[in-house]
Structure 1
Amino acid sequence: MFDMVVVGGGPSGATAANDLALQGFKVMLLDRMGRIKPCGGAVPPRLLKDFDVPLDLLCTTANSARMISPKDNKVDMPVGEGGWVGMVDRDVFDEWLRARAAKNGADRRDGTFEALERDADGTAIVCYRPKGAPRGSDPVKVKTRILIGCDGCNSAVARAALPDEKLPFVAAYHEVVESPPEGFKGFEGNRCDVFYQGKHSPDFYAWVFPHGSKTSIGTGSAVQGFELRKAVAKLRDELGMAEDTCKTVRVEGAPIPLRPRKKWDNGKDVVVAGDAAGTVAPASGEGIFYAMTAGREAARAAAEALKTGDASKLALARKRFLKGHGTVFTVLGIMQWWWYRSDTMREKFVKLCMDKDIQELTWEAYMNKELVKRKPLAHVRIFLKDSVQLVTGILSGGGIREGNTAGKRAQV
């Protein structure tokens, strides 16, 4: 009998398991080894502080972002004096988090969650297939007072215990390649490049994020029939970073949710977090910080539920997360809906990014993970400039989606 079983050993699950183990709970961390999510790998300084992550776990740091418009106009957004964006390799980063949880007392097991059963008195029984066990073999079964699902957008835990809900998602795909030499055809190892070009993604964006000796080149889309692999291959060719120049290290693909799930718990003994709960920021697609924050909130709510015997405490995970970040998610969702709908609007969006007020407030919000409330005059200026772009976009026909069928599944 475990106090908690955490399914999924990504940033969210590993954080939840570590927090609970440190509190003395009997915790099992179940992870399907070998699964790495496609991810640009960007993390804010606040993540290292909040979750006690050592600086040397970063592959490198970036001090600027370059936004590339459909017409290939480029806008550089320097982070500012003393600011930086940390870059991590998920292969190394996630494993470090899992190892820390195990070191602090979590019972780490490699395997795949298969089913949630109940014994005669209703206690949850987690059924899983250990790594290496043949399909069809009898699963291992463990009892747990609370089950925490951190097993991705297509969460098996959520399907087993929560109301059916189809989350809108972007299909993401990236190729991790050997980084070219510094300065190679404009490549900079301390700059993140974001491509707002319909040819690379009709409704999201493509990216080139440096990770020191390696670089992530990827894209995402919710448009049915859009071929992600071909889009990444085309981007690599355009950048001179094809296979013959930059050897491919590994490739990964996965769905990325676009909004939080409406219900995170079953009101009894199951709660979800991370991608399983839909905690990926719209527009930016940033997920690591929010996944770890959601994992912490799920662990906190589970601990309170177990200590008090009040299962309604599980609902606090979603409530607290949205209290801290719900407004940001709403604003970013509106931005994605409006600015990503066509190349006409994406061109105007990149143009807006030239504004120094927007650059400063964007980076401050990213670093601190909250909307910046100071500098009211800067907000007024941004509102007026943004309004002009909105009106001209509508008048030019940019408000009409150009043959885009967002929300349908893209094909890797």
Structure 2
Amino acid sequence: MDFDVIVVGGGPAGATAAEDLARSGHRVALLDRAGRIKPCGGAVPPRLIKDFDIPDEQIVARISTARMISPTGQQVDIPIENGYVGMVDREHFDEFLRQRAADAGATRLTGTFMRISRDEHGTRLWYRPRGSEAAEPIATKLIIGADGARSDVARAEVPGGDTIPYVIAYHEIIAAPEGGTVGYDPMRCDVIYDGRISPDFYGWVFPHGAQASVGMGSGVKGVDLKQATAALRESSGLTECETIRREGAPIPLQPLKRWDNGRDVVLAGDAAGVVAPSSGEGIYYAMIGGRFAAMAASACLASGRAADLKLARRFFMKEHKMVFRVLRVMQDTWYRSDDRRERFVTLCRDIDVQRLTFEAYMNKKLVRARPMAHLRIMAKNIGHLTRLIPAS
């Protein structure tokens, strides 16, 4: 076998890159380890559903309200105007994307990435097929590393790929309570800002139709993620619900400064660090990152210039750098203590904050058309940070 591009990792980033390349007429292989499901709340914005042509059957719930919960139990419900937040089950959603790539012409390979070698004959990717003890080589021109936050491809090939900061996310997929449970709403996502659940991030209860995702994330060493999730389930009245599966994985905190090795490798998705700060949202950014990686690979194949691999990061950051910067400031400002978290939830009562936040989320860009609203929000931010405004 020999290919134009081998994509390592079959999550949203890798599957999207493989599909786009296959539809462009390239010989592409999608290498994935079967059976792994990433812990994920599963939220996808309308722009993703539209841009990537996601069918209705993949949307297992349509969320109309987001509830923010503070350390003291203050609750702020934010209606999602003019739309909804879609929820997907990663177990089925990722496989749908992989199969769609195969239907477009990509060759699916099941196994584990081992290493990359190069000689006078070109580049070879070595992988161990599932069920085999021996590694096998595949000839290729380019490689897209989309193999997660602790990417083996990034660590081996891209400068700085071994230093990406991350938090550990853990969640439990449970059977949604039948007949309703006090505190649980199948049309509402709950986000819990409480240091007893997570000292530096947040916890969540996200409906998935017949199931729900309950979890949290933290970058603080020594935090018992399972115990924190158990406490979250208890406070949400979900302790008695059947536990279907448990999953944990690292979630990157910031994009890498470089996504390619200047030769034949480019990164996408978590491997490139593209998870939004503050929210932890990653599916949309993974898929658009996979699309940009495919565009960069196509350009490189056409021109023969390895420098074209840099286009993946350039395109992504041109469109999303400011959003990531603003969300990074939000996280660093408001997640640092329970007092700040309390004030942040209070701030979320503001109608300007609600509208601008969800307009930005739904459309994946900052809203610039309301300058007075931005000024009012800035004034309220300063008021909370200086304690001139009460926390509740």
**TM bracket, shorter-chain basis:** over 0.9
Asked if structure 2 preserves the Cα contact closer than 8 Å seen for 1:274 and 1:290, the reply is: yes
Across the aligned residues of Structure 1 and Structure 2, the Cα RMSD in angstroms comes to 1.4
2:337 matched residue in structure 1: 342
Give the C-alpha shift of residue 33 in structure 1.
Answer: 0.8
CA displacement, residues 105-155 of structure 1 (integer Å, 9 cap, x when unaligned): 00001111011111224x22111111122xxx3211101100000000000
Does 2:280 align with 1:281? no
Separation (CA, whole Å) in 2 of partners of 1:173 and 1:62: 22
Output the CA distance in 1 between the equivalents of 2:68 and 2:208: 18
The code of the aligned residue for 2:109 comes to R
Quick one: which of 258, 266, 272 aligns to 1:271? 266
In structure 2, the partner of 1:174 is: 171
2-side partners of 1:168 and 1:391: how far apart? 30
Equivalent of 1:210 in 207, 212, 236: 207
Equivalent pair of 1:17/1:29 in contact (CA under 8 Å): yes
AA of the residue aligned to 1:88: V
Residue 378 of structure 1 deviates from its aligned partner by: 1.0
What does residue range 99-114 of structure 1 map to in structure 2 within 5 Å? 99-114=99-114
Asked if structure 2 preserves the Cα contact closer than 8 Å seen for 1:127 and 1:140, the reply is: yes
Equivalent in 360, 371, 386 of residue 366 of structure 2: 371
Mapped partners of 1:210, 1:387: distance in 2: 34
Residue correspondence of structure 1 range 2-401 to structure 2 within 5 A: 2-80=3-81, 82-121=82-121, 123-133=122-132, 137-164=133-160, 165-242=162-239, 245-392=240-387
Query: Would the alpha carbon gap of residues 380 and 182 (structure 1) be closer, same or farther in structure 2, given more than 3 Å must change?
Result: farther
Question: Per-residue displacement from partner, 1:24-67 (whole Å, max 9, x unpaired)?
Answer: 10000000111111100000010011111112210010011000
AA at the equivalent of 2:6: V
Cα distance in 1 for residues equivalent to 2:53 and 2:353: 30
2-side partners of 1:71 and 1:97: how far apart? 41
Aligned letter for 1:43? Answer: V
- CA contact 1:63–1:79 (8 Å) conserved in 2: yes
Offset, 1:394? 12
Q: Alpha-carbon deviation of 1:393?
A: 8.2
Matched-pair contact (CA < 8 Å) for 1:17–1:28 = yes
Q: Secondary structure at the match of 1:215?
A: strand
What is the one-letter code of the residue matched to 1:358?
V
Seen in structure 2, the aligned counterparts of structure 1 residues 332 and 182 have a Cα distance that, compared at 3 Å, is farther
Q: Secondary structure at the match of 1:392?
A: coil
**In the alignment, residue 114 of structure 1 is paired with which amino acid?**
M
Check conservation: 2:384, 2:390, Cα contact below 8 A. no
Aligned residues: 389
Partners of 1:202 and 1:145 in 2: CA distance: 45
On the 8 A contact 2:183/2:237 being kept in 1, the answer is no
Q: Which of structure 1's runs of 4+ aligned residues deviate more than 6 A?
A: 393-396
- Preserved CA contact (<8 Å) 2:12 2:283: yes
State the TM-score, normalizing by the size of structure 2.
0.97
Code of the aligned partner of 1:237: E
Deviations 1:230-281 (A, max 9, x none): 1001111222211xx2100111100000000111001111000000000000
Structure 2 counterpart SS, 1:2: strand
Per-residue deviation, 1:182: 4.8
Q: Percentage identity across aligned positions?
A: 56
Cα distance in structure 2, aligned partners of 1:32 and 1:119: 27
1:290 counterpart SS class: helix
Amino acid at match of 1:76: D
- Distance in 2, Cα, partners of 1:229 & 1:307: 49
Distance 2:389 2:354 in 1: 24
Structure 2, gaps ≥5 residues long: none
Give the distance between the partners of 1:320 and 1:112, measured in 2 at CA.
30
Q: What is the distance in 2 between the residues matched to 1:183 and 1:30?
A: 42
Rounded to whole Å, the distance in 2 between the matches of 1:99 and 1:42 is: 21
Contact 2:63 2:84 in 1 (8 A): yes
Q: Deviations over 1:290-322 (max 9, x none)?
A: 000000000000000010111100001001100
Shift of 1:379: 1.1
* Residue type at the aligned position of 2:13: S
Ranges in structure 1 where 5+ consecutive residues have no aligned partner: 397-412
Query: How far does residue 159 in structure 1 lie from its aligned partner after superposition?
Result: 1.3
Q: Is the 8 A contact 1:344 1:393 kept in 2?
A: no
Q: Distance in 2 between matches of 1:364 and 1:213?
A: 28
SS at 1:385's partner residue?
A: helix
CA distance in 2, matches of 1:232, 1:393: 34
